[in-house]
């Protein structure tokens, strides 16, 4: 971890980064050693905050307890979380993070692009689903129906489906940030406009819930 950050800082011509994540759980290393390595990097001024990525609820609780002891500025866990993949809720991960005053940083917030207006007519057989969203593969038609129903709500709000999907994630104070993958300026600009309307009414949330649970 320490060598990889040193090399990254050299390549980026930076003195420090804002957040350094330990990506991912390492079964071969004592957890306290991992936590102490991350803590050391903060003490050395090479990162302001530390995070972890793809840790389960139990693993997050275990390392967060060590960070609490060390007074390490632990900011959160970067995991897959979006409207279609709610594992972070069902496993209790969100609650564990909240209990340690940390947040969930959601990667794949658009389910690799499914939660946009691109797949309303169907999900191609070769669509590259991330392993965390693989459950969609065997049920494409049902998910296309959900995408269209969600898109109708987005349109009523004057938003794109991508903007609705991001507003839905960011409504939860336990989700301080999302990591968007966009390779065009057009998509990036479309996405940042989510900030124009981040409020979801109780009726909208209930309608979304009913579509997702259908």
Q: Are strands 47-53 and 177-179 parallel, antiparallel or unpaired?
A: unpaired
Site map for ligand NAP, 112-151, x if CB under 6 A? xx--x-x-----------x---------------------
Which one, 73 or 113, has the nearer CB to ligand NAP? 113
Q: Is 191 in the site for ligand NAP (CB under 6 A)?
A: yes
185-192 and 161-170 helices cross at what angle (nearest 10)? 50
Q: Which residue is nearest to ligand NAP (CB)?
A: 181
Q: Is 4 in the site for ligand NAP (CB under 6 A)?
A: no
- In this structure, are residues 107 and 82 in contact, taking their beta carbons and an 8 Å threshold? no
Q: Closest distance between ligand NAP and the C-beta of residue 202, in Å?
A: 26
Q: Is 180 in the site for ligand NAP (CB under 6 A)?
A: yes
DSSP 83: T
**HSE of 47 in the Cβ direction (CA atoms, 13 Å)?**
24
Q: What is the side-by-side strand order in the sheet with 177-179?
A: 17-23, 47-53, 74-80, 103-107, 177-179
Instruction: Tell me the backbone φ, ψ of residue 98, rounded to 5 degrees.
Output: -60, -40
User: Measured between alpha carbons, how far is 64 from 17 in angstroms, rounded to an integer?
Assistant: 21
Q: Closest distance between ligand NAP and the C-beta of residue 165, in Å?
A: 8
**CA distances from residue 72 to 4, 37, 94 in whole angstroms, order as listed:** 19, 11, 20
DSSP 138: G
Site map for ligand NAP, 80-109, x if CB under 6 A? ---------------------------xxx
Q: Closest distance between ligand NAP and the C-beta of residue 65, in Å?
A: 22
Which one, 69 or 196, has the nearer CB to ligand NAP? 196
The binding site for ligand NAP (CB under 6 A) comprises 23, 53-54, 78, 107-113, 116, 118, 130, 162, 179-184, 187, 190-191
């Amino acid at each position: 971890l320490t060598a990889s950050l040193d090399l990254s800082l050299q390549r980026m011509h930076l003195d420090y980064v804002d957040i350094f994540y330990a990506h991912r759980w390492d079964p071969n290393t004592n957890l306290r050693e991992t936590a102490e390595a991350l803590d050391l990097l903060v003490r050395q001024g090479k990162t302001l905050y530390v995070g972890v990525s793809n840790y389960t609820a139990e693993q997050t609780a275990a390392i967060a307890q060590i960070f609490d002891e060390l007074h390490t500025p632990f900011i959160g866990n970067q995991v897959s979380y979006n409207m279609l993949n709610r594992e972070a809720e069902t496993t209790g991960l969100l609650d564990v993070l909240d209990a340690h005053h940390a947040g969930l940083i959601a990667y794949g917030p658009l389910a690799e692009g499914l939660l946009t207006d691109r797949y309303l007519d169907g999900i191609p057989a070769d669509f590259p689903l991330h392993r965390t969203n693989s459950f969609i593969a065997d049920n494409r038609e049902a998910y296309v129906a959900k995408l269209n129903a969600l898109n109708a709500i987005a349109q009523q709000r004057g938003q794109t489906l991508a903007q609705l999907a991001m507003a839905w994630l960011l409504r939860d104070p336990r989700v301080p940030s999302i990591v968007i993958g966009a390779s065009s300026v057009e998509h990036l600009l479309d996405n940042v406009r989510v900030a124009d309307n981040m409020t979801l009414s109780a009726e909208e949330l209930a309608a979304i819930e009913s579509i997702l649970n259908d």
